[in-house]
Amino acid sequence: MANENKPIHGIWGSRWVFILAAAGSAVGLGNIWKFPYMTGANGGAAFVMMYLLCIVAVGVPIMVAEVMLGRRGGMSPVNSMFKLARDNGVNSRWAGVGALGALSGFLLLSFYTVIGGWTLFYVWEMVSGALVHASAVEVQGAFEGMMANPWLVLGGHTAFMAMTMFVVGFGVIRGIERAVRILMPLLFALLAVLFGYALTSDGFADAFRYMFAFDIAKISGASVLAAVGHSFFTLSIGLGAIMAYGAYMPREVVTRSGQRKPVSIGSTVLAVAALDTLVALVAGMIIFPIVFANGLAPGEGPGLLFVTLPLAFAEMPLGMLFGTLFFVLVVCAAWTSSISIAEPPVAWLVEKGFSRPKAAILVGLLAWTLGIGSALSFNVLADYTLFGKTFFGLMDFLTINIMLPVGGLLIAIFAGWIMKETQARKELAMKSFGLYMVWRAMVRVFAPLALILVFAFSLWQALA
């Protein structure tokens, strides 16, 4: 039996479709918007090194664990964890890992679509040619003007949420699989074109040095915490999105010559993580040359993508075309990610008896409502802060720096300590025993220890 207990939500057409869907989830605003500005805000290469280390040592092993739990469970994260807890003879409260994930996904979705809305607005800015030949001051003004306009930000948030739920409402195969089959190749083609352009630009050497000339003195506790949080965010782990996608992953595929071939989780996850990392680095190498060639500051913050790039597009030949392509790329990337963030709560409601479209509309409406707070925190509510953070800032910190790492920690503990070893080994079916042992040591000891240390350290820093 290839796929015993076939998941009710459907199953990806092939291993390749899983890679497209999971890469679609992973590659998003985290790579193209956040990674470059975090690198800028945390001292360049020092942050890049920490980030790469976190991806390899903590992110990948936990991603393998998350996909493995998903494929074993075959359902939405809440019910997969419930089933796994029962099968392994532990308290059904472990289902809480799935519930915590669905909750963090719900919170994350509420503001992810707000930023998604900005990217939609920028497609319009580019197509309309509004910024052609604009000066630095004008481009800055356009960004601030957009954020200051509550209706514009709310409109973008609404449109992006609708786009997301439209796809999720069609289901795993007719919605998500169809969307990623079109959007992901488009995304990689656009990225290649823009990277080609960056290679020939004046600032490329400076940008390369900035990203890769490592200086240990620049590492701080805050930037380590940021790197850990970001490695979870960028790989889409810790909230069940990848667990849900793993549940739809086939155990075997039939090759063209009619042979049955097992689908290995380890190598598949490696492919996804490599794609995600590659896109982040390439995005940095597209954006920083423009920053340096124009004498701008890399530590600009969240505006980096929305201010520096349009400025470059304003001047370059065919800038309108490249600018439009670039923001279409960002929209595609963000869209395939928001879809995956919405999947765990929607799948859970479907298991409770809702129809797909109804479940999607319900989750969408609730997340949209909560997202109003984030949308307005750039304008009307900008002065309302707690611990120096706006509503958006709080949601961002709570989900990405706290909830995702906690979710990841619990996933690692379950996969490494709770789940029967025979089960884990069978599901992973790794060819190399040595690699399996490395993975096991990572999820049992190294990843949890690293996460706990980082937490303790940042708590200590916050209190000191």
- List contacts with ligand PFF (CB under 6 A): 25-26, 28-31, 105, 233-234, 236, 239, 241, 337, 340-341
Rounded to the nearest 10 degrees, how much is the dihedral formed by the CA atoms of 177, 248, 278, 255? -80
42: partner contacted, choices ligand PFF, Na ion, none (Cβ within 5-8 A by kind): none
Q: Assess contact for 232 and 59: CB atoms under 8 A.
A: yes
Which lies closer to ligand PFF via its Cβ, residue 60 or residue 142?
60
Name the β-bridge partners of 254.
Answer: 260
Using the contact rule CB under 5 A, the part of the chain among 25-33, 291-299, 349-357, 401-409 near Na ion is 25-33
For 107-163, the DSSP string reads HHHHHHHHHHHHHHHHHHHHHTTTTTT--HHHHHHHHHHHHH-HHHHHHHHHHHHHH
337: partner contacted, choices Na ion, ligand PFF, none (Cβ within 5-8 A by kind): ligand PFF
Using the contact rule CB under 5 A, the part of the chain among 28-36, 116-124, 160-168, 285-293 near Na ion is 28-36
CA 332 to chain centre: 13
Which lies closer to ligand PFF via its Cβ, residue 28 or residue 43?
28
Q: Assess contact for 10 and 248: CB atoms under 8 A.
A: yes
Using the contact rule CB under 5 A, the part of the chain among 21-29, 215-223, 224-232, 248-256 near Na ion is 21-29
Q: What are phi and psi of 252, to 5 degrees?
A: -140, 150
Q: Which of 26, 183, 367, 415 binds Na ion (CB under 5 A)?
A: 26
What is the per-residue binding string for Na ion in 216-235, x denoting contact by CB under 5 A? Answer: ------------------x-
Does 338 sit near Na ion (CB under 5 A)? no
Which lies closer to ligand PFF via its Cβ, residue 292 or residue 414?
414
**In the complex, minimum distance from the CB of residue 309 to ligand PFF, in angstroms, rounded to a whole number:** 17
Which segments of 13-135 does DSSP mark as H helices, in order?
15-26, 29, 35-41, 45-54, 60-73, 77-87, 95-127
Interface residues for Na ion in 266-295 (CB under 5 A)? 276
Using the contact rule CB under 5 A, the part of the chain among 18-26, 143-151, 214-222, 402-410 near Na ion is 18-26
Measured CA to CA, the distance from residue 425 to residue 115 in angstroms comes to 40
Q: Count of residues for the chain? A: 464
**In the complex, minimum distance from the CB of residue 315 to ligand PFF, in angstroms, rounded to a whole number:** 28
Name the β-bridge partners of 252.
Answer: 262
Give the torsion sign (CA, 25, 26, 28, 34).
Answer: positive
**In the complex, minimum distance from the CB of residue 25 to ligand PFF, in angstroms, rounded to a whole number:** 5
CA distances, 413 to each of 70, 72, 440 (Å): 15, 16, 11
Q: Assess contact for 21 and 259: CB atoms under 8 A.
A: no
29: partner contacted, choices ligand PFF, Na ion, none (Cβ within 5-8 A by kind): ligand PFF
Q: Assess contact for 351 and 75: CB atoms under 8 A.
A: yes
**In the complex, minimum distance from the CB of residue 348 to Na ion, in angstroms, rounded to a whole number:** 23
Which lies closer to ligand PFF via its Cβ, residue 18 or residue 292?
18
Which lies closer to ligand PFF via its Cβ, residue 22 or residue 296?
22
Tokens of 399: 């989900």
**In the complex, minimum distance from the CB of residue 418 to Na ion, in angstroms, rounded to a whole number:** 28
**In the complex, minimum distance from the CB of residue 239 to ligand PFF, in angstroms, rounded to a whole number:** 4
Does 110 sit near Na ion (CB under 5 A)? no
Which lies closer to Na ion via its Cβ, residue 104 or residue 234?
234
Does 31 sit near Na ion (CB under 5 A)? yes
Could you tell me whether strands 252-254 and 260-262 are parallel, antiparallel, or unpaired per DSSP bridges? Answer: antiparallel
Q: Point out which residues bind Na ion (CB under 5 A).
A: 26, 30-31, 234, 276
